[in-house]
Structure 1
Amino acid sequence: MQKVNLNGVKVVDVHAHPFVAAKGEEDAISFLKKLSLSVNPNMFSKEESTEKHRPVPNSNMWIQILLRNMAQYYSCEESLEEIVKARNKKAADYGEYTKELFQDVQLKGLIMDFGYPQPPLDRSEFEELSGARVWEISRIEPIMVELGKQGLNFDEFVSRYKKQLEEDLSKEGIVGLKTIIAYRSGLEVLEMDEDAAVQAYAEFTRNDRLPAKAFRDYCFHLAMEACTASGKFMHIHTGIGDGDVVMTKASPSFLLDTLRKEKYQDTKVHLVHGGYPWMEEAAFIVSILPNVYMDISLQNPFAGHGVERIISQVLELAPFNKVMYGSDAFTIPEMNWMGVKIFIDCFERVLNDWVEKDYMNAEKARYIGEMILYRNFEEIYQTKI
C-alpha cells in the first residue's frame, strides 16, 4: 500500500514570533529555558546526576523529542551537554544556521506577531536572518498601552486608537490585527457599553495590566470593526499560553456569541492556537461560521507526541480547508525547525491511518497534508509563497 510522505512539501507557519541572532554561546540551562513555555526562573537547574538515561530535570516530551532530533541532526551523542556543544558550533554564524534549519524543513513563510517580544523587532531584519518571507499582524494591546500613557480622555483615546488601527491595516505586509484579551479579561466579550468603558478606562490608565473589562471589550469591538472595514483578519489568542492567561475564560466557546453576530458575519477571524486544550470547540466554531479559521500552533510543537492526537481530533469536525499549520515559536530557530518536523511526523501517521482504513487514497491524503501546510494559507490569505 502506498504511504503518504510529506517531506519536501513547502510550509507556511501562520503564527510565530521573531527572535534576534544570539550573542555568545548557550549553556545547558540557558538553552533549556529558551525551549520552555515556563516563566519560572528556577524551572531548570544544573544536572548533577550521572545516571545515563535519566531525563533532563523538568523536561517533557517536547524537549525530549527535540533533543533526540538535534542529536541525530548533529550526529552527536544524545546528551544535553554534547547537543549544546554541537549546537553552539553550528550557531556561530547565526544567520546561516537559521537559514539552514528553515531550509531543512522547507519553511518558506511565516505570519509573525511582532507584539512579542517588546520593544518590537524589525520585520526586514528577521527576513534577512531567516531567509523566509514574513507577513505581520499588529497586536492591539501595545497600541492601547502606549495611548493610555498619554493622558488622553476617553474620546481622544478612541479617536487615536481607531486611527492607529486603520494606519496599521493599510501598511504593506500587515495581514490583520491580533488581541491577547484572553490574558487580561478573558474571551467572554460583552456588548459595547460606552459608559462602562469610560469607567474602566480610568482603571486601565492607572495599571494597564488590570482587567478593565468593559474597556478591553470596547477596544476589541473597535478592532473587529476595523478588520471588517479593511477586509483583513482579526487574530484572537485562544486557549492556554503564558501563565497569566485567564484560564476560566480562555476557551474559544466564549467567543461564539460575539462571532455569530450579524455585524461580524463577514469579518475574517483567525483563532490562534486553535483553542488548545479546547481544540474541539474551535473546530466546531470553524465548522459552522464561514469566515472563521484556526491554526494548530502552541500545542504544536509543545504537546510533543500529543500533536498526533490533536490533529486527529481537530479534523473530526473542522473542514480541511479551515485549518492551518503554526508553531508559536518564539526564541530560537530550533523551535521553528522542530515545529515542522513534529507536525509532519504526526500528520503522516494520521493520514496513513486514514489510508489504511480506506477512508481515502494516498494521493488525496497527501493533498490534504499540503492544504494544511501551505495551500490553505495561500487561499485564505490570498497570496502565493
Structure 2
Amino acid sequence: MGVLSTTEFPLVDHHCHGVVTAEQDRAGVEALISEGGAPPAGETNFDTPIGLAIRRHCAPLLDLPPHASPEDYLARRAELGTAEVNRRFLAATGTARFLVDTGHNPSGLTTPEQITALTGSPADHIVRLESVAEALAADGVEPDEFGEAFASRLAATVAETGAAGVKSVAAYRTGFRLDPAPPTDAEVTTAAARWLGTGGTRLADPVLQRLTLEAALGLGLPIQFHVGFGDSDIRMTDVDPTLLTDWIRRHRVPVMLLHCWPWHRQASYLACVYPNVQVDVGSVLHYVGPRRSVEVLAEVAEVTPFTRLLYSSDAYGAPELYVLGAHAFRVALAALLRDRVESGEWAAADAERIGHLVAHGNAERVYAR
C-alpha cells in the first residue's frame, strides 16, 4: 500500500451518533443533512456544499450515476428503504470501530448494538454528562443530594453500558468560561435548587456543569468536549478551546476536543503543549467538501503531534454523513501524507505509519478497553 491512497486504512470513528431507522421523505432527508435543519421556503439543502457532495459521492452507492438529480436520488433512496441505505452507506466507510454518543435525541436512532449488527464492527457507548443529569432530575432528587446522586448515577450508567468515554456539551449550554475549581457542596445545592425549581429539563448552569466534569474525572475515562462548529445555539465566542486551559492544567485525563473548526488552530496549540489533549476536525470536513477538507486537516496538523490527531465523523441521523465524513477525511489525509513524501520531508514508511496512527491507532490507544 502506498501513501498516495488511504482507502485501505481502517478508521476508528471516535465520535458519531446513530442513524435514523424510519423511512424519510424529502423534507426529512433535507432536515438531517444540515446543522441548520430544514431549509426556508424556496430553498433546498441540496444547493449547499454538502448537498452537492451527497449527489457526487453517495449516489453511486445507490447504483446511480454521480451527480444524479435530487429527485432521482431521493426516489432511489426511498425505493431501497432506510435499512438497506443505512447498511450500504455505513459499510462503505471502512470503519473498524464506532464510538457512539447516545445522548442527543436518541429516539428513532440506531443504538451502538444496532450499528454493530449493520456493519459487523464493534460500537461503544459514549455517555453524555448532561443527559445523565437531566434523567436524574426527571426521576426526582433533592437539591442537597444532587451532587452525590449524580456521581452515583453516572458511574452506574457507564458500568451498565460499558462506555468507552463520556462527553460534555458545555459549549452549547454555558460555554467554556468555567471556573476550573470543583464546586463546593453549598454551591451545588444552591444551583441544583435553582435548576430543579425551573423544571430541570436542560442543564445550563455553570456550577452544575463543573459538577458533571468533576464526577467524570473520577471515572478515569476520556472526556470529549464539543468545540466550535455545531447547531445554532452555539455562541462561537464562548467556545474557543483555549478558554479551557486552566481546567486542562488541573487534570491529566484524556481530553478529546471534537470538531474544533473554526478554532482548530487553537485546539492544535493545546494538543501541542498538553500531552493529554487530542483533537479532530470532525463534522466540518463533510460540510466543506473533500477539496477544502485538505486545507482544514493541514491546518490542524500544523503543530498537533501526530500521536494526538484522530478521526471522527460526528455523523447524526443521515447515513450520508458517515460516507462523506470518511471520504473527506481519507482525501485530506492522503493529501497530507503525499505532500510530506513528495517534498522529501518524510520517508514513505513514516507517512504510512503516521497515516495509520491518525486513522485508527491513536483512538485505539486512548479508548483502550
> Of residues 19, 31, 34 in structure 1, which corresponds to 2:32?
34
SS of the equivalent of 2:97 reads strand
Q: 2:169 and 2:93 mapped to 1: Cα distance?
A: 29
Deviation at 1:151, TM superposition (A): 4.4
Q: Residue 141 of structure 1 corresponds to which residue in structure 2?
A: 130
Q: Residue 78 of structure 1 corresponds to which residue in structure 2?
A: 68
Q: Residue 329 of structure 1 corresponds to which residue in structure 2?
A: 315
Q: Residue 50 of structure 1 corresponds to which residue in structure 2?
A: none
Q: TM-score, structure 2 length as denominator?
A: 0.89
Query: For 1:49-72, what per-residue CA distance to the aligned partner results, in whole angstroms no more than 9, with x for missing partners?
Result: xxxxxxx56732222222112334
> Of residues 142, 157, 173 in structure 2, which corresponds to 1:153?
142
Q: 1:368 and 1:60 mapped to 2: Cα distance?
A: 33
Maintained 8 Å contact 2:21/2:110: no
Amino acid at match of 2:69: S
| Match status 1:193 vs 2:191 | no
| Mean Cα deviation higher: 309-318 or 299-308 | 299-308
SS of the equivalent of 1:365 reads helix
Q: 2:316 and 2:29 mapped to 1: Cα distance?
A: 13
Q: Using a 3 Å threshold, how does the CA distance of structure 1 residues 293 and 248 change in structure 2: closer, same or farther?
A: same
Q: Residue 368 of structure 1 corresponds to which residue in structure 2?
A: 354
> Of residues 170, 183, 186 in structure 2, which corresponds to 1:181?
170
What RMSD over aligned residues (CA atoms) do the two structures have, in Å? 2.3
How many residues align? The count is 360
Amino acid at match of 2:337: L
Maintained 8 Å contact 1:99/1:129: yes
Query: For 1:28-79, what per-residue CA distance to the aligned partner results, in whole angstroms no more than 9, with x for missing partners?
Result: x43222211113x4x15467xxxxxxxx567322222221123344333531
SS of the equivalent of 1:9 reads coil
Q: Using a 3 Å threshold, how does the CA distance of structure 1 residues 103 and 125 change in structure 2: closer, same or farther?
A: closer
Query: For 1:307-333, what per-residue CA distance to the aligned partner results, in whole angstroms no more than 9, with x for missing partners?
Result: 211110111111101111101100122
SS of the equivalent of 2:202 reads coil
> Of residues 90, 93, 100 in structure 2, which corresponds to 1:102?
90
> Of residues 61, 82, 87 in structure 1, which corresponds to 2:77?
87
Amino acid at match of 2:271: V
The runs of at least 4 consecutive aligned structure 1 residues that moved more than 4 Å come to 44-47
Matches within 5 A, 1:275-290: 275-290=260-275
Query: For 1:255-286, what per-residue CA distance to the aligned partner results, in whole angstroms no more than 9, with x for missing partners?
Result: 1111101xx13x1221122x221011111111
| Match status 1:12 vs 2:12 | yes
Q: Residue 302 of structure 2 corresponds to which residue in structure 1?
A: 316
Q: Which runs of 5+ in 1 are unaligned?
A: 48-55
Q: 2:70 and 2:15 mapped to 1: Cα distance?
A: 28
Amino acid at match of 2:74: V
Deviation at 1:172, TM superposition (A): 5.3
Percent identity of paired positions between Structure 1 and Structure 2: 24
Q: Residue 52 of structure 1 corresponds to which residue in structure 2?
A: none
Q: 1:150 and 1:181 mapped to 2: Cα distance?
A: 22
Amino acid at match of 2:254: K
Q: 1:346 and 1:256 mapped to 2: Cα distance?
A: 29
Q: Using a 3 Å threshold, how does the CA distance of structure 1 residues 71 and 176 change in structure 2: closer, same or farther?
A: closer
Amino acid at match of 2:360: Y
Q: Residue 281 of structure 2 corresponds to which residue in structure 1?
A: 296
Maintained 8 Å contact 1:102/1:108: no
Q: Residue 202 of structure 2 corresponds to which residue in structure 1?
A: 209
Q: 2:120 and 2:3 mapped to 1: Cα distance?
A: 31
Q: Using a 3 Å threshold, how does the CA distance of structure 1 residues 203 and 242 change in structure 2: closer, same or farther?
A: farther
Q: 1:277 and 1:309 mapped to 2: Cα distance?
A: 12
SS of the equivalent of 2:307 reads helix
Maintained 8 Å contact 1:14/1:295: no
Amino acid at match of 2:144: D
Q: 1:368 and 1:303 mapped to 2: Cα distance?
A: 24
| Mean Cα deviation higher: 301-310 or 178-187 | 301-310
| Match status 1:351 vs 2:337 | yes
Q: Residue 22 of structure 1 corresponds to which residue in structure 2?
A: 22
Deviation at 1:139, TM superposition (A): 0.7
Maintained 8 Å contact 1:240/1:250: no
| Match status 1:377 vs 2:369 | no
Q: TM-score, structure 1 length as denominator?
A: 0.86
| Mean Cα deviation higher: 281-290 or 211-220 | 211-220
